[in-house]
Structure 1
Amino acid sequence: MNQSPRSGVNAHTAYQQLDAMSVGPLWRHLGDLFPAQPPLRAIPFHWSYEQLRPLMEHFATALSIEEAQRRVLMLINPGMQDTSATVTGLYAGIQIILPGEQAQAHRHSSNAFRYIIEGSGAYTTVAGERVHMSPGDLLLTPGWDWHDHFHQGDGPMTWLDGLDFPLVNLLDTAFFELHPETAQKTTIADDLSSRQYIHGRLNPTWTQRATLSSPIGKYPWAETERAFAAIADHATGSEVDGISLEYTNPWTGGPVLPTISCRVQRLIPGFLGTARRHTAATILHVVRGEGRTVINGEEFAWKDKDVFVVPSWASYQHIVDSSAGAVLFAYSNEPVVKALGLYREELL
């Protein structure tokens, strides 16, 4: 019975008493609590936009915006269904809005952004500023800013939603509130923040103090294309990620949101990337082009508007065979990992 001569209590009874007191013996959990390397809870996965779009159109007509508030298809990682996460700490969803629809104004603790996929004529109002949408634009919604959407154009408008709510919920720091009005009133000129900061190194001196989130409401695709065009024939780029550019906070030079790093990368025709792994879990959206990414030995073929994920510490290698090349938008939890001193990477 493995009874201790000192206590007079057998081991089975002792463990039962610990359970009753919500006490755990560390020696029974060491392997789980201190793994040799990160466990792969999120798994490599790929979502086809071509397959998702008919379903989005179905729900756009079958479910009113008033019923749904936000008509979004959540991209849930099979390994993280309990938290509705796409990778550790981050979420991705595809949202659709139809002409004439108004999405209810609300706010939440979670930081968010929108990366526009297709359509025209819609805008989002963030903290009183109306920000117009075009494909390839990156729109920011820092945590606790009021935001709502309206579509005054023709045809459906779709975008990729990125949020950090899996992390916020894990920390028990989530708050949510509906605005008393369906749409907030505009208090700032349309797209003013983008126009004020568009010059990059020439920042206005009269605006409020620097914040952890970028003050820019929209990073226009036209500026991204201009940046690629200016350096495309001269920059060597990364052997892993090609010509990779990071969207930054103009005040700090750091990530656009305190918990989310956003980048866009151009992979030239015939690109054969060096394999790498790092501890920043990453979600990638195909802006244009097609190619393949080998993740932990499994090959995922992707094309226009698809989404796929590279979990923390999973190896990945991008390959582009086409003559047209490809452009990927990527966002990760790198700011959080680095702030905690937990970032690690290695070439393979």
Structure 2
Amino acid sequence: MHAATLTDDALRARTAYYERIGNRNMTPLWEVLGALVPPQPHSPAQAALWRYAELRDQVMEAGRLITAEEAERRVLILENPALRGQSCITQSLYAGLQLIMPGEVAPAHRHTQSALRLVLDGEGAYTAVDGERTTMRRGDFIITPAWTWHDHGNLGDQPVVWLDGLDIPTVRFLDAGFAEKSEQSSQQTLRPEGDALARYGSNMVPMDYQPKPADPTRVFVYPFDRTRSSLRGIAKGTPDSHQGFKLRYVNPATGASPMPTIGAFAQWLPAGFETRPYRCTDGTVHVCLEGGGEAKVGDQTWRFQENDVFVVPSWHTLQLRADRDALLFSFSDRPVQQALGLWREQRL
């Protein structure tokens, strides 16, 4: 019998029953089943665009209001408009714009959350990971794997801004977050710059290195010049109708994602190229590193240019068109979904 055809007495009895079981910390599944097991994803996240040219002044103002040491990490979080107050850009991912001024050090710490950095603006900064520094250059994709010591510094004469991407919401959901501050603001240098890339990023690994499939990569920097060169190399062929020319970053020792919880991708769209509609279950954060164009997400359409950031929630249709040759970086929780057998895509 449907609720619409219940008698007043039956409705009162049912309401009273719900109240009694509620006092026992129970609730009826049949009242919420449609929301718990939907026919397809209905993400509470919203598609959104952040225009870097409009945000840069606010990022720089933070540098005048608080020091990197005071803040520990001077970051403006990019909050999804539909998830305000939750410090997330999708249900599983965090993103923010981090600023470090000349002469500053963001002190060393470590945490169970995995993090990526994508350098957007300025030069002269470095990131140190477990005793090795790497100079941060625009477009570089840099990783601080879970529970690795890391600090940042700026030895140059100009502010440096990068995009942070972390799995903070995922770790928070699992109640598995730990963090520790170092007694020293900057790590002691244990290896020369470029050591990890030479040992693990040249189709060779140390003789005794036997990584497990889920281990994060030892290559913690993926230089932008290599990314661009790879994309331009494959761009001599025929583009995929839904993706253009797109590659995923991997741990070169295992072929798996560089981090077990975050996947990262680089995409080249030739001038004038337009992708066909595409959607997938991993909500994805996109960053334009070169060129510009138009993104259509569901029924919204935006113009994007260099350093702009936009998010495409789970199962939202995406189409991209490049006004001029465009290079986009993106990251998502795809490795988690694939490990759990949940990931799906649809090419429309």
Over 3 Å counting, the alpha-carbon distance change for 1:229 and 1:278 in structure 2 is closer
Contact 2:201 2:252 in 1 (8 A): no
The separation in 2 between residues aligned to 1:237 and 1:119, in whole angstroms, is 32
Q: Partner of 1:250 in structure 2?
A: 252
Contact 1:132 1:191 in 2 (8 A): no
Q: Partner of 2:9 in structure 1?
A: 2
* 2:205 partner letter: N
* 2:239 partner letter: G
Cα distance per residue 1:248-280 (max 9 Å; x no partner): 011210111101111111100111101011101
Contact 2:126 2:133 in 1 (8 A): yes
Cα distance per residue 1:271-290 (max 9 Å; x no partner): 11010111011000010111
Contact 1:286 1:306 in 2 (8 A): yes
Aligned residues: 340
Deviation at 1:124, TM superposition (A): 1.0
Instruction: Name which of structure 1's ranges 25-34 and 70-79 shifts more when overlaid on structure 2.
Output: 25-34
Deviation at 1:14, TM superposition (A): 2.1
Of 11, 15, 20, which aligns to 2:14?
11
The separation in 2 between residues aligned to 1:209 and 1:332, in whole angstroms, is 23
Contact 2:197 2:221 in 1 (8 A): yes
1:135-284 residue pairs with structure 2 within 5 A?
135-199=138-202, 201-207=203-209, 209-210=211-212, 212-233=215-236, 235-284=237-286
Contact 1:191 1:217 in 2 (8 A): no
Deviation at 1:90, TM superposition (A): 0.7
Contact 1:290 1:325 in 2 (8 A): yes
The alignment's TM-score, normalised by the length of structure 2, stands at 0.93
Cα distance per residue 1:51-89 (max 9 Å; x no partner): 110111111122112221111111000112242110120
1:79 and 2:86 correspond: no
1:290 aligned counterpart, secondary structure: strand
The separation in 2 between residues aligned to 1:261 and 1:91, in whole angstroms, is 13
1:133 and 2:136 correspond: yes
The alignment's TM-score, normalised by the length of structure 1, stands at 0.93
Contact 2:107 2:185 in 1 (8 A): yes
Q: Partner of 2:290 in structure 1?
A: 288
Q: Partner of 2:5 in structure 1?
A: none
Q: Partner of 2:311 in structure 1?
A: 309
Deviation at 1:307, TM superposition (A): 0.1
Unaligned runs of 5+ in 1: none
Give the % identical residues: 38
1:76 aligned counterpart, secondary structure: coil
Cα distance per residue 1:269-318 (max 9 Å; x no partner): 11110101110110000101111111112101110100001110000000
Contact 1:240 1:275 in 2 (8 A): yes
Deviation at 1:39, TM superposition (A): 1.4
The separation in 1 between residues aligned to 2:123 and 2:71, in whole angstroms, is 22
Over 3 Å counting, the alpha-carbon distance change for 1:24 and 1:263 in structure 2 is same
The separation in 2 between residues aligned to 1:3 and 1:327, in whole angstroms, is 62
1:56-95 residue pairs with structure 2 within 5 A?
56-95=59-98
Deviation at 1:24, TM superposition (A): 0.7
Q: How big is the alpha-carbon RMSD for the aligned residues of Structure 1 and Structure 2? A: 1.7
